[in-house]
Structure 1
Amino acid sequence: MTNSIKWGMIGAGDVTEVKSGPAFKKVPHSDLVAVMRRDAVKVQDYARRHGIRKWYTDAKQLIDDEEVNAVYIATPPDTHLQYCMMALQAGKAVYVEKPVTLNVEEAMRLANYVQKVGGCLSVAHYRREQPYFKKIVQIIDDGLIGEPLVISLQLLKKSLTEEMLQDPKIAWRLDPAKSGGGLFHDLAPHQLDIIYRLFGPIQKSEGLALNLGKRYPADDVVTGRILFENDVLFNGLWAFNVTEEVDRCEIFGSKGKLTLSFFTPHTIELMNGEGVQVFHFEALKHVQQPMIEAVVGYLRGERGNPCSIDDALEVATIMQNFTNK
């Protein structure tokens, strides 16, 4: 890979406005030179506002652009496999949003294709590179809670309003044909990837998923448990139809406990024999910037892959085992 990473972005929705898009221009040795969206008016406006020189309404034209040597895929999951394979076939590196594909079958196809063509592909499980979650890794690696034993996770959210259900920005996430399985598939990959990063490999995983509200096609309650090969036990609950909102994860060890959150990551509470410590973190302006910097480093040969297709396949397998779909 060349020393300068010239990105082309497929998909220019809200998720890219602040979380990811601007970071491609702020990371050293990286630039966002082209963007694609089917709507010509919207993609031209996006390119103008973000200082991107070229825009396209056809993904193949962006991939075939000789200046582009890496492709960021920020579309719904139902197109990830197609665009990843197109970009890899063209010899371009790939950074693809999560969930990596619609299902395990597609993830396996992609993993086999990456191996076949020898391409570079990283998955946007971007919390791995954020200071907040790196601190959690450090605390556990330093033995500050002793041997990890049990993890308890709850993500509870209020029911979506009728207005939200009609919002196109939300509606596609509730359609399993586009998203793979609703709000669980949209949010849980962030959490399960970190849990896998901390405690994998996995001995077994199983769960139960229900559509209790029956207001949209996807399940709105999921429970799951994982037994890791090191005998750490994980229990998780996701419910998107309740009256109280909770975003809490507790990691219990032989000498202490960590309390953290995944979607409001401002504090970590460590409790052990030394007492209680609270670590504070500032919110990141562009939440994907640390991950994009790591991916650029990988593509420049300066480090390993920050999140491989094999890692993403593990997360996809956990999700399938939880939902039995």
Structure 2
Amino acid sequence: MEEIKWGIIGCGDVTEVKSGPAFNKVPHSSLVAVMRRDAAKAQDYALRHGVPKWYSNAEQLINDPEINAIYIATPPLQHEEYTLLALSKGKPVYVEKPMTLDAASAIRMKAASDQYNVKLSVAHYRREQPVFLKIKELLADNAIGDIRFVSLQMLQPPASNLIAGSEVNWRIDPAVSGGGLFHDLAPHQLDLMIYFFGKPKHAAGIAANQAGVNQADDLVTGHILFENGVVFNGMWCFTVSPADQKDCCEITGSSGKISFPVFGSKITLSKDGHTEEFIFDPLQHVQQPMIKKVTAYFLGKGANPCSAEQAILSMELMDQFTKSVKKSTGN
């Protein structure tokens, strides 16, 4: 196999700019077909983006002999079903984050990848963006000494500009998304913590639906003790006032601090009373660096940039943060 010829299942909003165009912009990669259950919308996407084929049935796209890899960009409810189907047909899968609804489903997806011996990668694409590669480099260089703890605050008003739009807001339907806005945004943040600090040793949290606007939790807290001794504390709330909006992660070490927004492009390094800033240009297609690495992996020319095993760790953290209270009360 000399080129990855992609088929997209679920060509909705996330694929318009963030990911879709990038499949034709990385080496040895091209976008051959897209699928959406609404045939007219699938055709419209294909015509606007210059994609040769479109389908309204996922199985037909997967069975297309020209397609040799599948990108699944549906809501999480369909991730497991389509991943298992594609893997059973021998076609490697790049699946959107969150990997699926919960850790048990993610474990089944990994088992299928192992069973069929077909590659599976997860779209935790911030791992390959320059801003987060720089943070990882600073940590590796002991720029702030030994890491002590991490504090994260993701505080957003209901009309936050960070929350992706869609015709039907499935992100606040736990049956479709696995939870609420926490399940949409926290996978980015928790995966970065795993990317920076490794495997968690212990984790717990509290989740609550304070505003009662929908069925999803709108406030989540969580703490993690990593195997390397680093402690993480996080707070997510999606019902604060616009004046209190915040996206801040602070990594504190024995000799300084690294601060950054997870949904931004600036790093602030504070050490010995001095401050240094690193500012990065926004990416046109935020997933392009990741898609480049996944393409190389599928071609046998590189490592998996985010394996199912790694993605399961963040799924387990979300489960532990949001389900501990429900389990303890028997709900």
Same fold (TM over 0.5): yes
- RMSD of the TM alignment (CA)? 1.3
Moved more, 105-114 or 224-233: 105-114
Report the Cα distance in structure 2 between the residues aligned to 1:122 and 1:69, rounded to whole angstroms. Answer: 14
What residue number does 1:178 align with? 176
Report the Cα distance in structure 2 between the residues aligned to 1:168 and 1:193, rounded to whole angstroms. Answer: 24
What residue number does 1:247 align with? 247
Quick one: percent identity of the two aligned structures?
Answer: 53
Report the Cα distance in structure 2 between the residues aligned to 1:28 and 1:122, rounded to whole angstroms. Answer: 18
What residue number does 1:89 align with? 88
Query: After TM superposition, where is structure 1 displaced by more than 3 Å over at least 4 residues in a row?
Result: 167-170
Q: 1:240 to 1:170 in 2, by over 3 A?
A: farther
Letter in 2 for 1:25: N
What residue number does 2:203 align with? 205
What residue number does 2:22 align with? 23
Report the Cα distance in structure 2 between the residues aligned to 1:71 and 1:109, rounded to whole angstroms. Answer: 18
In the alignment, does 2:266 pair up with 1:261?
no
Q: 1:212 to 1:274 in 2, by over 3 A?
A: closer
Letter in 2 for 1:283: P
What residue number does 1:228 align with? 226
Aligned residues: 319
Letter in 2 for 1:267: K
SS in 1 for 2:239: strand
Gaps of 5+ in 1: none
Counterparts of 1:65-76 in structure 2, within 5 Å, are 65-76=64-75
Normalising by structure 2, report the TM-score. Answer: 0.94
SS in 1 for 2:59: helix
Counterparts of 1:74-223 in structure 2, within 5 Å, are 74-160=73-159, 169=167, 171-223=169-221
Q: 1:88 to 1:176 in 2, by over 3 A?
A: same
What residue number does 1:293 align with? 292
C-alpha displacement of 1:40: 1.1
In the alignment, does 2:17 pair up with 1:13?
no
Letter in 2 for 1:218: A
C-alpha displacement of 1:275: 2.0
Gaps of 5+ in 2: 327-331
Report the Cα distance in structure 2 between the residues aligned to 1:169 and 1:77, rounded to whole angstroms. Answer: 16
Contact 2:13–2:166, Cα closer than 8 Å, also in 1: no
Normalising by structure 1, report the TM-score. Answer: 0.96
Report the Cα distance in structure 1 between the residues aligned to 2:90 and 2:301, rounded to whole angstroms. Answer: 20
C-alpha displacement of 1:279: 0.3
SS in 2 for 1:19: coil
Report the Cα distance in structure 2 between the residues aligned to 1:168 and 1:239, rounded to whole angstroms. Answer: 21
Report the Cα distance in structure 2 between the residues aligned to 1:180 and 1:45, rounded to whole angstroms. Answer: 29
Report the Cα distance in structure 2 between the residues aligned to 1:266 and 1:97, rounded to whole angstroms. Answer: 22
Report the Cα distance in structure 1 between the residues aligned to 2:27 and 2:277, rounded to whole angstroms. Answer: 32
C-alpha displacement of 1:118: 1.0
Report the Cα distance in structure 2 between the residues aligned to 1:169 and 1:134, rounded to whole angstroms. Answer: 34
C-alpha displacement of 1:170: 5.5
Report the Cα distance in structure 1 between the residues aligned to 2:251 and 2:167, rounded to whole angstroms. Answer: 33
Contact 2:182–2:220, Cα closer than 8 Å, also in 1: yes
What residue number does 1:313 align with? 312
Letter in 1 for 2:214: Y
C-alpha displacement of 1:168: 5.1
Letter in 2 for 1:297: A
SS in 2 for 1:241: coil
Letter in 1 for 2:224: I
Q: Deviations over 1:126-170 (max 9, x none)?
A: 000000100000000001010111000000001249xx9xx7546
